[in-house]
Each structure stands twice: as structure tokens, then as C-alpha cells.
């Protein structure tokens, strides 16, 4: 069995004159959580739907679990699980009935109780789908994506529209899937989501992959540290090492590759003026910063 | 697997009692309405005499099958498509034919129940003869009609752009036809072009074949082969169009 769950070379897809995916390569290893991240319209969903068999590629080599998804083989569909971007479930069945219905489509489904436990819908088993909250419906959507005990699960923007607490528990759920040995390929436009979940992150913009690696690698490529503190004066007042700071919401925000010198100068400067560096924070660049940095590079 | 699918469709249907209730109520309202207005009149259709209720009971049976199969299929499948439910199912190992079979069988069950109710009310309230010797013809006509109108409903979804447009398009395509097809009003000397319109489309043939089965003077098994042939031709056309143009994805 191949090490790779997904293997893509030179994938292209155009709609009329619009290039949705402009020749990308992807390699998703078995058992990892792989995040495809990018803004709306970057080509994430198109890519995912080609891998799921919903769309056909114009060109390129695509293998998912060793199969060509465009052939729409029944046996292939039994090995993958799909959660589409928009939740799409019959409104007039209960949670249990919906899961049972989808379990019935697969040769070797996961047990009903296990599915309900994984997505945490124990309290709502007998409820009609239409009475569930948006977040609960999304969880049910994941449960039916998992119903067939898939080797590979596609999650298209699984937490869009969630409140922060719901997102945290969805993340915990996705990590649990990994510990069950599943491969997860998800799309998101939240950097913190990719950072929190993914083993490998691929950043896609305008139908092209602009960066790929582990979250740590991507951040390492961006060697900057972010220093921020409350400040309402002008940059002329600041010491030389901090002169490049930007001002946001009454804070000075400094991206620097040399945090030691910057902090040394800043603390001396504040001490001489007898002031406190209020709300001081020193953080390594987040994936968000890497992402915004890439966006900036592209517009220049 | 396909049979289980029918079960889920049925359960879903009955869980929305308002929708289910009015699906059954509408044909009954028409049955009572038209029989009260015209039930006692003597009619001559295609050179054959019959009384009003012998005309209206099979007419409303035709209406019931058309609305349960064509109208409901056209609307509900479009709504499911727009909700992404069809696409969701398409991503599972359930064979596409099994899903369509589920919808088809569900529509036919609803039709059957409606037909029993309409015929029952017709017999009890208006003394309409229930087909006996013509039962084979009646059953075959019903079956063929139901399958044909389901196929046409499915084919129609291909031209319905979205769920909001579904009721308008299904009604606009079927209501006028019902009026020129001896379902609501008996056509006595219609303008030639209207008669041709009625003859071309399947609804008039469906109603006529059912009226034969209900007519007390009909001898034999009640088969109207000419009408059945037209209905079957539309069924084949509907199936071919549905196979060619049916879409599992919401339109954007």
C-alpha cells in the first residue's frame, strides 16, 4: 500500500476563461491531517471536489487511495468520507435515523453509538435535524461523513460560522479522528485552525500553491518576532530599533528579525522616560503573519 | 438498500404533516367541488354519454397521480438538489438508481393512497362504480401514468434553475394542461388547436384511459391501448431526458 493517501501532479481546472486551479501538486501522507488553506476563491473547494469525484479535472494526475476519483467507482466511495462546504441533511429525520440511513449505504459502517459519541450528539439523538443548531447540524454532517468508517475524510471548511467554543471542540474531534488512524484533508481560511490541527499546511492562492510545510517550518521561514505594546505617540519618539513599528488601535506593533536588540532598546527607552511598556507582548510570528506576508509579497 | 431508501423517503414525508395533509386534501377539495357543481349533469365526451361523477372521479384520480408524481417530484427533487442533499448522497456508495428508485417508489405509494381515497370517496359519496372487470386496465394505466409523470417530473428538474422557481415552473407547465385534458372541465367542442394540444400531451390520454376503466358500459379488461401508447412514449422521452440532463449539484 502506498504511503500517500492523496497524490496530485499538475492538477488544472478552468471554468470558461477563469482558471480555478492552475496546475498544483499535493501529497497527503496516510494518517496525517493536511490543511489546504487560502482565501475565498483560491481553488480549495474545486480541488477538494475533484479529489472526491464530484468534478473532473481538465488536466493532471490524480490518485486518491490509489484510485482515479473521476471514475466514480462505488467501491472507492465506500473508502472515503465527505463533508461538503454547506451542510446538507434531510430536515425531517432524527439524528439517529440520519446516521442509520447513511450507515446503510456502506459495506462496513462504524457502530451508531460510536458515531454519536465521536461528534458529541448524545443529548440530541432523538431530535429532528431541523431542530438542531447550526453547529449541531455540522457535527451530524461529520458523523455521516464518518459513517462508512472511511480511510480518508474530506472536510470542506468544517468550522466556518462556529463560535469559538464550538471550534475548539470541533478541533478536539478532528484530532480524535487522527488518533483513530484516519487521514484528514481539510480546507479552511482560518490560520489558527491550520496551526492548531494540521501536520502539513499547503497555502493556496489564485489556484496555485504558494507555500507548503509543517506549521513550524512555515513560521521558521518567516523569522520575525512580533513585539507589541500600548503606545499613542509618534514613531519619532521611539528608539531607532523600533522606528519601523506600525500603529494599530493605540498599540505599536513591531515585526523584527532581531528581537533582542529591539527589546533592549525599548526597555531602556521606557525606563529613561519613567514609563511602563503597558500590555507588552512578544510572540513568534503566527501562521497568520506568514499568510499575510505572502499576500503582501504577491500584491507587490 | 433501495427499499430502505423508500422507507426513509416515506418517513421524511410524513414528518412534515402540513405538507402531507395538503397533498391529500387538494385532490379531495377538487373532487367535492367539481362534483357539487357539475356532478349531476349528463356529458358527452368523444361521442360517449356519461354522468358527471363518472367523469370527475377518474379525472381527479388523474390529477392526484399527476400532482403526487409530476408536481411533487419536480419540486421536492429540486429542493433536495438545492439543499445539497443529492450531492451528499452522490458522494456515498449508494448507487444513483437506488436513490431515484426511492423517490419514485415513494411518489407511487403516495399516488396509490390518494387513488384509494379518491375512489373510496367517489363510491361512497357519489355512487361512482369502482372498476371491477376493468381493474387490470385501471391498474396498468395507473402504474404507467405514475412512472411516466415521475420521469417527466425528474426531467423537468433539469430546466428548473433553483428551488424558488420550482413551484412556479411545475405549476405553469401542468395546470393549463389539466384544463385542456378533460380533468377539470369536460371539453365540449373545444377550438381545434386546443384539442390538438390536449392530444399531443399525455394528461388527456391518461384521464381518458382512466375514464374508460370507470365507465359502467366498458366491457373487457379496460385497456385503451392507443392512450397507453402515447403515455408510454412520453414516459420513454421523460426517462431519456432525465438520464441525459439530470443534475445532482445545486445550480449556482
ipTM surpassing 0.90, yes or no? no
Which positions in chain A touch B95 (Cβ < 8 Å)?
Answer: 74
The answer to whether the CB atoms of A54 and B88 lie below 8 A apart is no
Cβ-contact A171, A264 below 8 angstroms: no
pLDDT in tens, B5-30: 999 999 999 988 888 888 899 999 99
Question: Taking all residues of chain B, what is their mean pLDDT, rounded to a whole number?
Answer: 90
The answer to whether the CB atoms of A88 and B83 lie below 8 A apart is yes
pLDDT of residue B19: 83
Which positions in chain B touch A93 (Cβ < 8 Å)?
Answer: 8, 11-12, 15
Nearest to A77 among B1, B11, B93 (CB): B93
What is the mean predicted confidence (pLDDT) over B101-122?
94
pLDDT of residue B252: 62
Q: CATH for A4-214?
A: 3.40.50.300
More confident residue, B199 or A241: B199
d(CA A139, CA A265): 50
Give the pLDDT band of residue B185 (cuts 50, 70, 90): confident
Phi, psi (deg, nearest 5) at residue A112 = -55, -50
Counted across chains A and B, CB pairs separated by less than 8 A come out at: 62
CA distance A287 to chain B (A): 32
The answer to whether the CB atoms of A54 and B87 lie below 8 A apart is yes
Is B29 an interface residue toward A (CB < 8 Å)? no
Is B16 an interface residue toward A (CB < 8 Å)? yes
Residue A279's CB: how many other CB atoms inside 10 A?
11
What is the mean predicted confidence (pLDDT) over B181-202?
88
d(CA A248, CA B186): 78
Question: Digits of tens for pLDDT over chain A (300 positions)?
Answer: 568 999 999 999 999 899 999 999 999 999 999 999 988 888 999 999 999 999 999 999 999 999 999 998 999 999 999 999 888 899 999 999 999 999 999 999 999 999 998 888 999 999 999 999 888 999 999 999 999 999 999 999 988 877 888 888 889 989 998 998 999 999 998 888 988 999 999 999 889 998 899 988 887 766 678 888 898 877 778 888 888 888 888 888 888 888 888 889 889 988 888 888 888 988 877 777 777 766 665 554
Is B244 an interface residue toward A (CB < 8 Å)? no
pLDDT of residue A73: 92
* Domain ranges (residues) in chain A: 4-214, 224-284
pLDDT of residue A75: 93
What is the sign of the dihedral through the CA atoms of B73, B78, B84 and B86? positive
Nearest to A88 among B15, B87, B94 (CB): B87
The answer to whether the CB atoms of A107 and B12 lie below 8 A apart is no
pLDDT in tens, B68-106: 999 999 999 999 999 999 999 999 999 999 999 999 999
Which positions in chain A touch B92 (Cβ < 8 Å)?
Answer: 77, 82, 102, 105-106, 148
% of chain B residues with pLDDT over 90: 64
Which positions in chain A touch B85 (Cβ < 8 Å)?
Answer: 88-90
pLDDT of residue A20: 92
Nearest to A293 by CA among A210, A227, A214: A210
pLDDT of residue A300: 46
Asked if pLDDT for residue B225 goes beyond 60, the answer is yes
Torsion angle of the four alpha carbons B36, B41, B44, B48, in this order, in degrees rounded to the nearest 10: 90
More confident residue, A223 or B153: B153
More confident residue, B239 or A223: B239
d(CA A182, CA B159): 40
More confident residue, B54 or B90: B90
* Domain ranges (residues) in chain B: 2-245
Which positions in chain B touch A105 (Cβ < 8 Å)?
Answer: 1, 89, 92-94
Nearest to B51 by CA among B75, B34, B66, B26: B34
First CA to last CA across chain A, in angstroms?
44
d(CA B54, CA B44): 11
More confident residue, A179 or B51: A179
Q: Which of helix, strand or coil describes residue A176?
A: helix
More confident residue, B130 or B230: B230
pLDDT of residue B117: 94
Torsion angle of the four alpha carbons A268, A269, A275, A277, in this order, in degrees rounded to the nearest 10: -80
Q: Looking at chain B, which residue has its C-alpha nearest residue A51?
A: B91
Which positions in chain B touch A144 (Cβ < 8 Å)?
Answer: 88
Amino acid at each position: 500500500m502506498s504511503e500517500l493517501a492523496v497524490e496530485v501532479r499538475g492538477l488544472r481546472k478552468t471554468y470558461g476563461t477563469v482558471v480555478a486551479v492552475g496546475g498544483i501538486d499535493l501529497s497527503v501522507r496516510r494518517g496525517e491531517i493536511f490543511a489546504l488553506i487560502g482565501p475565498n476563491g483560491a481553488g480549495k473547494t474545486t480541488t477538494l471536489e475533484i479529489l472526491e469525484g464530484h468534478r473532473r479535472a481538465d488536466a493532471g494526475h490524480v490518485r486518491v487511495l490509489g484510485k482515479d476519483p473521476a471514475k466514480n467507482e462505488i467501491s472507492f466511495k465506500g473508502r472515503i468520507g465527505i463533508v461538503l462546504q454547506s451542510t446538507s441533511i434531510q430536515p425531517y429525520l432524527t439524528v439517529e435515523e440520519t446516521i442509520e440511513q447513511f450507515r446503510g449505504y456502506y459495506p462496513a459502517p462504524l457502530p451508531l453509538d460510536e458515531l454519536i459519541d465521536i461528534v458529541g450528539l448524545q443529548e440530541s439523538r432523538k431530535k429532528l435535524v431541523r431542530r438542531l443548531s447550526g453547529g449541531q447540524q455540522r457535527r451530524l454532517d461529520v458523523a455521516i461523513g464518518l459513517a462508512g468508517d472511511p480511510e480518508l475524510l474530506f472536510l470542506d471548511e468544517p468550522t466556518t460560522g462556529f463560535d469559538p467554543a464550538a471550534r475548539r471542540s470541533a478541533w478536539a474531534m478532528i484530532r480524535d479522528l487522527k488518533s483513530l488512524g484516519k487521514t484528514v484533508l481539510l480546507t479552511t481560511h482560518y490560520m489558527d485552525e491550520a496551526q492548531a490541527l494540521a501536520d502539513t499546511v499547503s497555502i493556496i492562492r489564485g489556484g496555485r500553491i504558494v507555500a507548503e510545510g509543517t506549521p513550524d517550518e512555515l513560521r521558521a521561514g518567516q523569522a520575525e518576532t512580533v513585539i507589541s505594546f500600548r503606545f499613542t505617540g509618534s514613531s519619532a519618539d521611539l528608539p531607532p530599533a523600533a522606528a519601523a513599528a506600525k500603529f494599530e488601535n493605540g498599540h505599536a506593533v513591531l515585526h523584527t528579525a532581531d528581537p533582542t536588540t529591539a527589546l533592549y532598546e525599548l526597555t531602556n527607552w521606557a525606563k529613561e522616560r519613567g514609563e511602563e511598556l503597558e500590555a507588552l507582548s512578544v510572540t513568534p510570528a503566527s501562521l497568520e503573519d506568514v499568510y499575510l506576508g505572502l499576500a503582501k509579497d504577491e500584491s507587490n | 438498500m433501495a427499499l430502505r431508501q423508500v422507507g426513509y423517503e416515506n418517513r421524511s414525508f410524513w414528518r412534515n404533516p402540513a405538507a402531507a395533509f395538503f397533498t391529500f386534501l387538494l385532490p379531495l377539495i377538487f373532487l367535492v367541488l367539481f362534483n357539487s357543481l357539475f356532478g349531476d349533469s349528463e356529458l358527452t365526451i368523444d361521442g360517449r354519454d356519461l354522468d358527471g361523477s363518472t367523469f370527475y372521479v377518474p379525472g381527479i384520480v388523474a390529477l392526484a397521480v399527476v400532482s403526487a408524481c409530476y408536481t411533487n417530484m419536480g419540486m421536492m427533487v429540486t429542493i433536495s438538489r438545492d439543499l445539497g442533499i443529492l450531492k451528499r448522497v452522490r458522494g456515498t456508495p449508494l448507487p444513483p438508481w437506488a436513490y431515484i428508485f426511492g423517490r419514485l417508489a415513494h411518489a407511487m405509494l403516495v399516488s396509490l393512497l390518494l387513488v384509494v381515497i379518491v375512489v373510496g370517496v367517489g363510491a361512497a359519496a357519489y355512487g361512482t362504480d369502482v372498476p371491477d372487470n376493468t381493474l387490470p386496465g385501471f391498474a396498468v394505466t395507473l402504474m404507467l401514468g405514475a412512472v411516466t409523470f415521475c420521469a417527466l417530473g425528474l426531467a423537468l428538474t433539469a430546466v428548473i434553475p433553483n428551488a424558488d422557481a420550482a413551484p412556479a415552473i411545475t405549476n405553469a407547465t401542468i395546470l393549463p394542461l389539466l384544463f385542456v385534458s378533460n380533468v377539470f372541465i369536460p371539453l365540449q367542442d373545444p377550438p381545434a388547436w386546443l384539442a390538438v394540444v390536449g392530444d399531443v400531451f399525455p394528461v388527456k390520454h391518461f384521464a381518458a384511459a382512466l375514464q374508460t376503466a370507470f365507465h359502467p358500459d366498458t366491457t373487457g379488461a379496460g385497456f385503451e391501448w392507443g392512450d397507453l401508447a402515447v403515455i408510454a412514449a412520453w414516459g420513454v422521452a421523460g426517462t431519456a431526458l432525465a438520464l441525459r440532463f439530470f443534475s445532482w449539484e445545486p445550480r449556482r
